[in-house]
Structure 1
């Protein structure tokens, strides 16, 4: 089967499953990397079952020589593994060329996590944002108080925000499941103040966050805010990146006695293992306490 035909068939299946544009972009990058490595005249482009482990390993070596970081290498290989597994399971191919390929290792590294002190520093900087002060402050508060993903924050619309009950509705987040996420009184006040300052100027727009010209603020527009805050604070952008705020919410939730299973629902994780990684950010005593909360682990340890 031709790699181009396989790719297009895979994308049709992904779109039929209503996968996000980010997911499609993830797979597109993986296919592109393999196609670039093989070159336009390679006969294996016409029959992917001719691919061997050495082809994938040679692609990895080329990426390393270009300076790609371990996380990028692993992501590309994850995308290709999922693609060829899908093709084999759907019987597009009879032999899976990726079946015996070993994944590259990724150094275990705890990613930056916004702590309360850093959140306060960024909020103080946002107070100097002039006409966008109330909007930017509300965005930061929502992110730290709810743990929403950047894309989920950007997509919020007016009907999704229930200020009376202090609840946000997140439509079809990652994994395709809607969920409700509560927020505190500080966020209620911040959003209310923002709406008083900005919303009356754009009555016909349903998106919550409005950009400079009255258009909805995209996730890329929100992301750019953090570039500016990092520069003004003199810190590395990764320290206050959008996902670092999500990690900050998760860690503070656990520190304040939150329950692991509830955190899984709030974050929209499809498995508890995805949520438990946040325990690694806790001090040793709290980490031990949360690890003991798992009833299944306690049963298995008692055997």
Structure 2
């Protein structure tokens, strides 16, 4: 007689049975502020720019204050519901907050809760399915060529401050850079060989770009650099104390010349008004959109397409066609 072949029993207990015997550990809830700090630390380690980290910090604090006012529990991020987000949007609109501000805070909130989702602090992102609010696509005011010349004629270029301010405004006008980009320029970023160029290293999108100089800008920057001389720091634009110029000082100086030239009565004078004017003049001159994107450092074409829609000459050129 053959013996019965008995299969050897597995040593390990099945997961199903084990789960009935050993209760799952209850995970501690994570409060909003604690996770916010963890998220910001993650952003820093990830290598996001200080401005981006500052943006998330500001927007998350704004969310915290608003949810607190709406009496939404923040003791556990997993308790946050989509309904809470929708109520927050209604609250913001009721308090006449700008659509752009609400959308910016929503982007920050969505990114924050995506982080929570990856960390398994939440089961679902409460911002999921909540769409950005629609807003009017407008372009801020720009300078006319006459207004631009009035501003550029305002500084007293026989004085160091006047020459510096003239060089700053002309750089804004002829390069189309942002305020932070201008204040981050170093002496070595300005090249006078050949036609000359300005190399923007501290760009918003982290992609350095090269901007050829106009003849007028090359002449003015060369004169300014000679007057600036050799200093202990390498900042291109400096104060009378030879310290790197601050963004606030630049804004105040522009406002000063807006007042003395009376341009401020017609258009708010700011670094971004110079940038918008640069874009408008290039579009009006027929500069290729992709070339303009490289000059301005825009990450996508959406904003530049608005300039084309408003200032492009194709409509005027097309309207008579077909009637000849």
Does 2:241 match 1:213? yes
CA contact under 8 A between 2:152 and 2:169: conserved in structure 1?
Answer: yes
Q: 1:249 to 1:31 in 2, by over 3 A?
A: same
Q: Which residue of 1 aligns with 2:110?
A: 81
Q: Which residue of 2 aligns with 1:72?
A: 101
Q: 1:238 to 1:218 in 2, by over 3 A?
A: farther
Does 2:122 match 1:93? yes
Q: Tell me the SS of whatever aligns to 2:264.
A: coil
Superposition pairs for residues 117-196 of structure 1, below 5 Å? Answer: 117-127=146-156, 130-165=159-194, 166-196=196-226
Give the alignment's TM-score, normalised by structure 1: 0.84
Does 2:137 match 1:108? yes
Distance in 1, matches of 2:286 and 2:245, equals: 34
Distance in 1, matches of 2:316 and 2:145, equals: 19
Q: Which residue of 1 aligns with 2:274?
A: 245
Bigger mean CA deviation after superposition, 134-143 or 56-65: 56-65
Give aligned pairs, total: 287
Distance in 1, matches of 2:316 and 2:172, equals: 24
The structure whose Rg is larger is 2
Q: Which one has a larger percent helix, Structure 1 or Structure 2? A: 1
Bigger mean CA deviation after superposition, 220-229 or 232-241: 232-241
Distance in 2, matches of 1:287 and 1:157, equals: 43
Q: Give ranges in structure 1 of 5+ residues lacking alignment.
A: 290-303
Q: 1:90 to 1:285 in 2, by over 3 A?
A: farther
CA contact under 8 A between 2:200 and 2:210: conserved in structure 1?
Answer: yes
The CA RMSD measured in Å over matched residues stands at: 2.7
Shift of 1:203: 2.0
Bigger mean CA deviation after superposition, 244-253 or 55-64: 55-64
Query: Alpha-carbon deviations, 1:202-261, whole Å to 9, x = none?
Result: 622200000132210022221222222333325259632211211211222222232111
CA contact under 8 A between 2:72 and 2:84: conserved in structure 1?
Answer: no
Q: 1:244 to 1:41 in 2, by over 3 A?
A: closer
Q: Which residue of 1 aligns with 2:322?
A: none
Q: Tell me the SS of whatever aligns to 1:34.
A: helix
Q: Give ranges in structure 2 of 5+ residues lacking alignment.
A: 1-29, 319-324
Q: Tell me the SS of whatever aligns to 1:44.
A: coil
Shift of 1:78: 2.5
CA contact under 8 A between 1:226 and 1:237: conserved in structure 2?
Answer: no
Q: Determine which structure has greater relative contact order: mean sequence separation of CA pairs < 8 Å that are 6+ residues apart, divided by chain length.
A: 1
Among residues 16, 22, 42, which one is paired with 2:45 in the alignment? 16
CA contact under 8 A between 1:169 and 1:180: conserved in structure 2?
Answer: yes
Q: Which residue of 2 aligns with 1:267?
A: 296
Shift of 1:40: 8.8
